[in-house]
Amino acid sequence: MDGNGPHFANGIKNGWADQNSIVLWTRLTQDKLAHFKGEPFIEIPVGKMKSLAENQDLEGIYNTQIPDGLSLKDMEGYCPGSEGQVLLKYHKYGDSANEKTVDWRSVDPQKDFTHQWKLEGLEAGEKYSLKIYARANKGAQISDSISGSFLLPADRQTKRDVKFCVVSCHDYNRRDDLENGHKIYPSMAQLQPDFYVHTGDVEYMDKPTPYAMTEELMRFKWNRLFALPFQRSFYNHHTSYFMKDDHDVGFDDSYPGRDYGMVSFERGLEIFDLEQFPSHPKRYKTIRWGKDLQIWIVEGRNYRNQNYLEDGPEKTIWGTDQKQWFYNTVTESDATYKVLITSSPILGPDRVKKNDNLSNATYSYEQTEILDFIKKQKNLFIVNGDRHWQYVTHFENTNLWEFGCGAGADVHAGGWKQEDFRPEHQFLRVKGGFLSVSLTTEKQAAIKFIHHDVAGNPVNEVSF
Ligand SMILES: [Fe+2]
């Protein structure tokens, strides 16, 4: 510790906002910044990684990736946690006279020195300001403080323009601004979105420098990513919904039983769901954003069974409860436009050999079931992450539309050939960026899906 901590090097994240509640997250750190000037990890071959993972070779996992004589604390991006206490003050924007305080709470060393607050009884459609404070222990001086803000959705009677951004797939090692993080964050902030959705693959545990085959290394990677200036300042001030996907948990295309080194699949889920991101008892939720828009956030890892099972009624990604919830809540909704946000594609197209998402041939049964339902709906659009290229898919003479937001940086894009433009493709771009969705309510409600490059320039637009 630099002597006057603890600090907030990982900022604030929020999640699961609805009309009256939101969950806030923070982590106490020893230092104000991560050690970005630390030593680089050694990149080991994929084959070596697989054998270390298979053999649960704990010593090897560290020895092969950290140079001789060094330890994790010497490495680039190290951002150690700290015991201590946090205090929260928040108030409706412009109404500091009615500020509320949540008294000092100790962070949880069992959960990587994080703390979460669930705020309830808030007012729909309002913007809130907040400030959090840190101290080492009861009686100690305040050692750090940071400010944040969030916006809550308006209720179902209120006509209001809404704009949101959707991002997928990025990691520390493939950031496109070495000093600050990913360019998409300041680009999105410029658009002043009401909220933001990350569809998962926020970080890649199974990519080198280091391959995160222990809980400690997974935390190292989360802490390093959330210490990046662009990420931190964006998350501090935007209402967010964080979803997860395979790489956040362990192996590519992971499923129950597919453990990663020392970390079981279930522990990978837990570290994401209960520790490193705002928590919610179920990992799916639907949120009305005013009269004309409702979104559905669905979970793609927690409720699936094994990818290798034979296709049929038992094989699932969504699970029975989530599917029934989706059908019920969509049927009950009177929102003008409905947007289903899924971490991986439903329509595709995807590469033939893939066996992980509903657009893959090995998941035809569940895909057909869900699409049969969607075909009966009016103005329901699919937005997805996972695939590292931007696309719009639409099958003629159907109401089926899917908008793939693509990867979060140009260096991260790939996996599809630009020349492979299929009949169902309305747009295809094998580059990084993000998707924005704008709902306008002037005269008649309209919805616009815009793909952007990493600088925020629009590269395609589809309106309804
Ligand atoms: Fe990905």
What domains sit in the chain, N to C, each tagged with a CATH number? Answer: 12-34+79-151 (2.60.40.380), 162-463 (3.60.21.70)
Q: Cα(237) to centroid of ligand 1, in Å?
A: 25
Q: Cα(407) to centroid of ligand 1, in Å?
A: 7
Q: Cα(428) to centroid of ligand 1, in Å?
A: 17
Interval 190-230: pLDDT, tens: 999 999 999 999 999 999 999 999 999 999 999 999 999 99
Query: Hey, how many other C-beta atoms are within 10 angstroms of the C-beta on 366?
Result: 21
Extract the residue ranges of the chain whose pLDDT is less than 50.
1-2
Q: Cα(144) to centroid of ligand 1, in Å?
A: 35
Q: How far apart are CA 236 and CA 432, in angstroms?
A: 23
pTM for the predicted model, two decimal places = 0.97
Q: Cα(390) to centroid of ligand 1, in Å?
A: 12
Q: Cα(40) to centroid of ligand 1, in Å?
A: 23
Q: Cα(69) to centroid of ligand 1, in Å?
A: 34
Q: Cα(252) to centroid of ligand 1, in Å?
A: 8
Around ion ligand 1, residues with a beta carbon closer than 5 Å are 169, 201
Q: Cα(387) to centroid of ligand 1, in Å?
A: 6
The token pair at 34 is: 């991560």
Q: How far apart are CA 440 and CA 96, in angstroms?
A: 31
Q: Cα(162) to centroid of ligand 1, in Å?
A: 27
Q: Cα(392) to centroid of ligand 1, in Å?
A: 18
Interval 247-270: pLDDT, tens: 999 999 999 999 999 999 999 999
The token pair at 139 is: 């009686």
Q: How far apart are CA 197 and CA 182, in angstroms?
A: 15
The enclosing H or E element of 266 equals helix 265-270
Q: What is the pLDDT of residue 1?
A: 46
Q: What is the pLDDT of residue 3?
A: 61
State the residue for tokens 């002043």: 192
Q: What is the pLDDT of residue 194?
A: 98
Q: Cα(386) to centroid of ligand 1, in Å?
A: 5
